[in-house]
Amino acid sequence: MSAYVEPSLEVKKKGLKSRPVIATIILIGGIIGLLLAIGISVSIGAAEIDVRTVWSAVFQYDSTLVPHQIIQETRLPRVIGAALVGSSLAVSGSIMQGMTRNPLADPGLLGLNAGAAFMLAICFAFFPGLPYIYIILFAFVGAALGAGLVFGVGSLAKGGLTPMRLVLAGAAVTALLVALSEGIAIYYRINQDLAFWNAGGVSGARWENIKIMASWVILAILAAIVLSKSITLLSLGEEIAVGLGQKTGVIKLFGTIIILILAGSAVSVVGAVGFVGLVIPHITRFLVGYDYRWIIPCSAVLGGGLVVLADLAARMVNPPQETPIGALIAVIGVPFFLYLTRKGGQPL
Amino acid sequence: MIDKQFISSYQQNKKKRKVYTILIIILLIFISFMISMNTGYIRLSPLQLLETLIGMGTEQQNLILFEFRLPRIVISVLVGMGLALAGCVLQGVSGNPLADPGILGINSGAGLAVVLFISFFPSTSDVPVMFLPVLAFIGAGVTAIIIYALSYKRGEGISPTRLMLTGVAIAAGISAAMIILTLRLTPDNYQFVAVWLAGSIWGSNWMFVLSLLPWLLILIPYIFIKARVLNTLNLGEVTATGLGVNIEKERLFLLAAAVALAGSSVSVSGGIGFIGLIAPHLARQLVGGKHQFVIPAAAALGALLLLVADTIGRWFIQPSEIPAGIVVAVIGAPYFLYLLAKSKA
């Protein structure tokens, strides 16, 4: 653990410490693990389906067989959705942490998720039956709203944007937006649609939504990988990045757009799930070093794995009821967050 | 001589103004009380209201007022007072202007204890209800100790921001734990947790009033007596010690009182945050920094705020209702953000 107590100092002293070998292992192993987890997750459920049937359902789909239908229509979109949500939250968290050098940055903690959820509540209340292709745009706007409020309040303060103050502002903005969403939900009697979804769950994922969401997410993650070199430089400090000829303003703009797209898409499928974007980037950085060209793809894989496993656990803890994923991940996320705050939130 | 007289008369005028301010707030509580009595699915004209209050109403009117609306209003007033004073003491003792039992996570600890208890003893027979505040106090106390221990750092002590962050995290963790634990029980319990977390005044019958009242009757006068101590604590540790205050002991007792107030209030009201933040701040703006005035003003403002919030929540969409906690958060969160933007690093 001591390897990253003072990352910024460490980096300045020893130069960029990156572990490409470990990163490659994580990438390959992570993808295999992810596929395995997806396979297990698809085969486990109310109707037990063995892995061979899963295989044939995916690659030799036969619409007359009931198990094939279950897999294609309900389980597969759900698992793919979980993986995409995990990847997008983890990648948006790592970009946020890298760009702002704030170790406590997370789309959930800084109000992006609550903002997206708020806009979705508005969407369901005022435009019921809107196609998902537009709903996801609302989610992007909402994420921008949440982020704007938090960073606005944070930068108004005299001491400037300290990590801790941003988190406090995030907590208050989240409280406000959640209260407003709940108020809207109760007023328009859509609270039953929203209740479980507020706590986080991928049970409602459907193919047509997942396809739209996947195209946004994959595009954004690819863009993030293109941008990753510049993010590494930004994570060393604004002055260093400028000194090395980076147009920091442009990078930050594109980074922000990517973050908003990723957080918004994730929330539009799963609801407000926090802490994935906090925990995964830290673990990834600990494992692969400080090069975002490795951190971003690795955290995408690990984040996807975490949410797929959380979804699996959510179905297994108390069948036939589902435990909200958000609650399960908070159980891991909260101690981790406490550990980070104890270290005082030094800049990355 | 003339100077002295002038000063003392000036001070008396100031004192009078503060007393008037508090009286005006109490008047506002009374007005909201009347409006709140009249708010609900079945409307009662002011005349009918008066008739019922002096015991000349029809059976239906009696039932509505005395069994449904009045206990709920009384609970709102009591809980508002309790939370406001808890916040007032927390802010005074910690020197942290953003302290609030909700934000610091103390409320959620109380909530966990209550929810667990309700899950195992679903019947609200007489004994469990009286027992609720005790449990909530234990839950809140344990949580407070955990938060304190986690945010304590050797050599640095307790930094206000770390305390708040720990509180926020603990609150998030406890909410998650509540959801997971209660899902394992029954759907009804899950519904109860959802309602509790949203901060709806759920314990609305006289039994709950009775269970809450003794706590407030003991703790509020205690805090009143300690107003001077709170004043001296505000001057800083060194000065307070110099003035002969046993800081550690007083702090501990006052904190325990605040935890008990927050816990017992929340045990019948659900997780309502921000009252403990707003009420003391507004009170200080209105009557200055002396706790002899801040305490009654904050208590009155807390009662007023929660009563108004609950009334708005009931009036807004009849026949269903918006939990008071949501209404309070919509007002309170922007206020917290405003204070945060004003605060120094």
Choose the closest CB to B317 out of A160, A169, A187.
A187
From the CB of residue A52, how many other CB atoms can be counted at a distance below 10 Å? 9
Q: Which residue has the tokens 């009155």?
A: B300
Is residue B2 a part of any domain in this protein?
A: no
State which of A175-179, A244-248, B37-41 shows the largest mean pLDDT. A175-179
Q: Which two structure tokens, joined as six digits, stand for A204?
A: 């409602």
Confidence of residue A248 (pLDDT cuts 50, 70, 90): confident
Average model confidence (pLDDT) for chain B?
82
Choose the closest CB to A179 out of B153, B330, B336.
B330
Residues in chain A within 8 Å Cβ distance of B161:
162, 164-165, 168
Average pLDDT for residues A251-275, to the nearest whole number? 88
C-alpha span between A174 and B138 (Å, rounded): 28
Q: What percent of chain B has pLDDT over 90?
A: 20
Confidence of residue B305 (pLDDT cuts 50, 70, 90): very high
B103–A158 C-beta distance less than 8 A: no
- Chain A closest CA to B186's CA: distance in Å? 10
Is residue B20 a part of any domain in this protein?
A: no
The pLDDT score that the predictor gives to residue B47 is: 75
Task: Evaluate if residue A160 carries a pLDDT over 80.
Answer: no
B322–A187 C-beta distance less than 8 A: yes
Task: Evaluate if residue A14 carries a pLDDT over 60.
Answer: no
A158–B345 C-beta distance less than 8 A: yes
* Consecutive H or E run containing B158: strand B157-158
B177–A164 C-beta distance less than 8 A: no
Is residue B16 a part of any domain in this protein?
A: no
Task: Evaluate if residue A38 carries a pLDDT over 50.
Answer: yes
Q: What percent of chain A has pLDDT over 70?
A: 88
Q: Which two structure tokens, joined as six digits, stand for A310?
A: 């959380």
Choose the closest CB to A159 out of B164, B168, B344.
B344
B172–A173 C-beta distance less than 8 A: no
Please give, one letter per residue, the 3-state secondary structure of B240-279. Answer: HHHCCCCHHHHHHHHHHHHHHHHHHHHHHHCCCCCHHHHH
Residues in chain B within 8 Å Cβ distance of A326:
176
Of residues B21 and A192, more confidently modeled: B21
Q: Best residue in B119, B183, B331 to probe A by mutation, most A CBs within 10 Å?
A: B183
The pLDDT score that the predictor gives to residue B314 is: 83
The pLDDT score that the predictor gives to residue B262 is: 92
Please give, one letter per residue, the 3-state secondary structure of A31-57. Answer: HHHHHHHHHHHHHCCCCCCCHHHHHHH
Task: Evaluate if residue B223 carries a pLDDT over 70.
Answer: yes
Q: How many contacts (CB atoms, under 8 Å) link A and B? A: 133
The pLDDT score that the predictor gives to residue A204 is: 67
ipTM computed for the complex? 0.79
Confidence of residue A219 (pLDDT cuts 50, 70, 90): very high
- Whether B154 and chain A come into contact, CB under 8 Å, resolves to no
- Whether B272 and chain A come into contact, CB under 8 Å, resolves to no
Minimum CA–CA partner of B321 in chain A: A186
> Residue A217's closest CA among A91, A74, A30?
A91
Minimum CA–CA partner of A108 in chain B: B172
Of residues B221 and B156, more confidently modeled: B221
The pLDDT score that the predictor gives to residue B190 is: 67
Q: Best residue in B100, B104, B180 to probe A by mutation, most A CBs within 10 Å?
A: B180
pLDDT tens digits, B94-130: 878 888 888 888 988 988 888 788 777 765 555 567 7
B184–A317 C-beta distance less than 8 A: yes
pLDDT tens digits, B154-173: 776 677 777 888 888 898 88
A202-206, B4-8, B108-112, B272-276, range with the lowest pLDDT: B4-8
State which of A79-88, A205-214, B150-159 shows the largest mean pLDDT. A79-88
Average model confidence (pLDDT) for chain A?
82
Q: Best residue in A110, A177, A334 to probe B by mutation, most B CBs within 10 Å?
A: A334
C-alpha span between A216 and A143 (Å, rounded): 15
- Whether B218 and chain A come into contact, CB under 8 Å, resolves to no
- Whether B179 and chain A come into contact, CB under 8 Å, resolves to yes
From the CB of residue A257, how many other CB atoms can be counted at a distance below 10 Å? 14
The pLDDT score that the predictor gives to residue A161 is: 73
Of residues A45 and B208, more confidently modeled: B208
A165–B345 C-beta distance less than 8 A: yes
pLDDT tens digits, A288-329: 888 889 899 999 999 999 999 998 888 887 776 777 888 888
Average pLDDT for residues B234-248, to the nearest whole number? 76
A168–B179 C-beta distance less than 8 A: no
Choose the closest CB to B183 out of A160, A176, A318.
A318
Confidence of residue A199 (pLDDT cuts 50, 70, 90): low
A59-63, A158-162, A312-316, B184-188, range with the lowest pLDDT: B184-188
Task: Evaluate if residue B319 carries a pLDDT over 80.
Answer: no
To 5 degrees, how large is the angle CA B334–CA B284–CA B234? 110
Q: Best residue in A158, A164, A341, A342 to probe B by mutation, most B CBs within 10 Å?
A: A341
Q: Best residue in B107, B115, B147, B161 to probe A by mutation, most A CBs within 10 Å?
A: B161
From the CB of residue A85, how many other CB atoms can be counted at a distance below 10 Å? 32
State which of A96-105, B68-77, B81-90, B125-134 shows the largest mean pLDDT. B81-90
Contact A308, B139 (CB under 8 A): no
State which of A108-122, A316-330, B201-215 shows the largest mean pLDDT. A108-122
Average pLDDT for residues A243-270, to the nearest whole number? 88
C-alpha span between A154 and B232 (Å, rounded): 32
A187–B150 C-beta distance less than 8 A: no
Q: Any residues with CB less than 8 A from the CB of B104 and at least 6 apart, and which? A: B90, B144, B147, B163, B164, B167
C-alpha span between A282 and A298 (Å, rounded): 11
- Chain A closest CA to B191's CA: distance in Å? 10
- Whether B186 and chain A come into contact, CB under 8 Å, resolves to no
Cis peptide before B323 (omega within 30 of 0): no
Choose the closest CB to A172 out of B320, B321, B340.
B340
Average pLDDT for residues A194-219, to the nearest whole number? 76
The pLDDT score that the predictor gives to residue B210 is: 85
Average pLDDT for residues B26-53, to the nearest whole number? 80
B170–A317 C-beta distance less than 8 A: no
Minimum CA–CA partner of A180 in chain B: B330
A195–B194 C-beta distance less than 8 A: yes
Contact A10, A283 (CB under 8 A): no
CA A34 to each of CA A119, A281, A301, B54: distance values in angstroms, whole numbers, following the listed order = 31, 17, 7, 71
Confidence of residue A4 (pLDDT cuts 50, 70, 90): very low
The pLDDT score that the predictor gives to residue B148 is: 85
B184–A186 C-beta distance less than 8 A: no
Is residue B49 a part of any domain in this protein?
A: yes
B33-47, B130-144, B181-195, range with the lowest pLDDT: B181-195
The pLDDT score that the predictor gives to residue A1 is: 36
The pLDDT score that the predictor gives to residue B323 is: 84
Contacts 24+ apart (CB under 8 A), A157-161: A157/B340, A157/B341, A157/B342, A157/B343, A157/B345, A158/B342, A158/B343, A158/B344, A158/B345, A159/B343, A159/B344, A159/B345, A160/B345, A161/A100, A161/A102
- Chain A closest CA to B298's CA: distance in Å? 22
- Whether B170 and chain A come into contact, CB under 8 Å, resolves to yes
A323–B175 C-beta distance less than 8 A: no
Confidence of residue A52 (pLDDT cuts 50, 70, 90): confident
The pLDDT score that the predictor gives to residue B326 is: 87
Residues in chain B within 8 Å Cβ distance of A166:
none
pLDDT tens digits, A62-87: 777 777 877 777 788 888 989 999 99
In angstroms, the first-to-last Cα distance of chain B is 46
Task: Evaluate if residue B345 carries a pLDDT over 60.
Answer: no
A215-224, B18-27, B38-47, range with the lowest pLDDT: B38-47
How many alpha carbons fall within 13 Å on the CB side of residue A241?
22
A158–B343 C-beta distance less than 8 A: yes
Domain count, chain B: 1
Look up the CATH number of the domain holding residue B82: 1.10.3470.10
Domain, as residue range, for B157? 32-342
C-alpha span between A347 and A344 (Å, rounded): 9
Top-level class of domain A2-15+81-279+318-342: mainly alpha
Average pLDDT for residues A250-277, to the nearest whole number? 88
Residues in chain B within 8 Å Cβ distance of A165:
161, 340, 345
B161–A330 C-beta distance less than 8 A: no
Choose the closest CB to A318 out of B184, B332, B343.
B184
- Whether B198 and chain A come into contact, CB under 8 Å, resolves to yes
B340–A341 C-beta distance less than 8 A: no
